[in-house]
Amino acid sequence: MTAGTTGMDWVEPGSPEEHREEVTGDFVKTFGAPPGGVWSAPGRVNLIGEHLDYNGGPVLPFAIDHRTMAAVSPRSDGRVRLRSRQHERGWEGSATSARPEDVEPWCRYPVGVHWAMRSMGWEVPGFDAVIDGCVPSGSGLSSSAALTCAVAVALHDLAGGRRLGSSGTDRDEDRRVLAEACVRAENDFAGAPTGGMDQSVVLRARPGHALLLDCRDFQGEHVRLPGDAELLIVDTRAQHALTDGQYGGRREACERASAELGRSLTEISPGELDDELPRLPDAELRGVVRHVVSETQRVHAVVEQLREGSWSRIGELLAASHASMRDDFVISTPELDLVVDSAVAAGALGARMTGGGFGGSAVVVCPERRRPDIAASIHEAFARAGYRAPGLLAVQAGAAAHKVTPPTSHPSHPTPVRPPDG
């Protein structure tokens, strides 16, 4: 880091090897034997295309190098036992009869994955698992998708990829169906509304690339991210939760607008807005339609610029995206607005909020070697405003969820994992 960056809260991803060793050691300490394997899944950042996934539009997310680890072993009795290095309370019970209201809230995500995969034709076993999450929770970086996808890939591998009607040899198809299972786990078991973008990129990402995802059919195209900029994620520490109703309220507003107009919002062209907006009964619905239509166009424009091999011309597009989410979709916060304004003033190529909104994080595109100075400017702006210091993540576009190499040894003094209450 450069001068002026001391005292700032850089949230490091940590060493994958150390995390693997630690979660393995905790598994041995808790369950008395090594795990069947350790699986890793990333958080994600959406570069542009917010709230378009459940509207069937295009999005442009990429995986980050902050990841969740899951040490997992199969069980033959259909039971699940869960522990976490981040939560005091775990859970254990029957995977086949568990109801969401009986399961510890964070455990609903992995238990929901088991339920969804089983209902979709996978022959998944019960399992023991210890989770170590290094994706900041509540930051808008999809720690929930990292958790569900790490468990889904583990169960897929432990079941030998066996799904009714599947050969188990088509990795892309299995990853698409696994993403669907993870969406069902979050929506129907954990009670968290999500549109499928997060799970798709966590399972299908490629290092150094974003995933241009068409959310009508979830076909994807990898778009290389040019090397002439550095990416900074700023966690405002204004936490949000998909289960608090605000995200769901915006999704419901989009559904109402679509019903009023009799068509998908992403089918509307900018030239049709003057005719379509007066048909809507209130300002809220007119705002969400303006955002969806304009954001769809911005996604394609950003992809076109990235394909030309440079970040230099996307600043106005990112600024317009943030303004749309602030003014039309109404999901920004003063902290997110301050990140964007102070980053651009300090020389960022572009910045915008990312994630579901109402808190969470912003993504900042920094010129090469300017990331620490821009981070310092944002940190100072937060201090002047009296806000809690933000978390700062220097990220690269990382790899999809996968099994990591098993450790060759276990720590001699593993951190104890607390048993579940009761």
Q: Which residues are the active-site residues?
A: 198
Residue with tokens 């979660």: 23
The total number of residues written for the chain in this structure: 422
Give me the numbers of helices (H) and strands (E) for the chain, helices first please: 11, 14
**Which residues, 6 or more positions from 266, have their beta carbon under 8 angstroms from its beta carbon?**
52, 55, 56, 57, 58, 216, 292, 293, 296
Question: Quick one: CA dihedral 398, 402, 406, 411, positive or negative?
Answer: positive
CA 84 – CA 88 distance, rounded (Å): 7
CA 363 – CA 62 distance, rounded (Å): 12
Return the DSSP state at 160: T
What tokens were used for 269? 């062209």
Of all helices (H) and strands (E), which one includes residue 215?
none
Torsion of Cα atoms, 151 then 156 then 159 then 163, to 10°: 130
The strand order across the sheet containing 391-395 reads 9-10, 391-395, 229-235, 361-367, 350-354
User: Residue 62: what are its φ and ψ, rounded to 5°?
Assistant: -145, 155
Q: Name the nearest CA neighbour of 242 among 99, 143, 134.
A: 143
CA 362 – CA 359 distance, rounded (Å): 9
What tokens were used for 123? 């022959």
Residue 201 exposure: Cα atoms within 13 Å on the Cβ side: 35
Residue with tokens 């969406």: 183
Alpha helices in 205-314 (DSSP H): 246-261, 273-276, 283-307
CA 257 – CA 188 distance, rounded (Å): 24
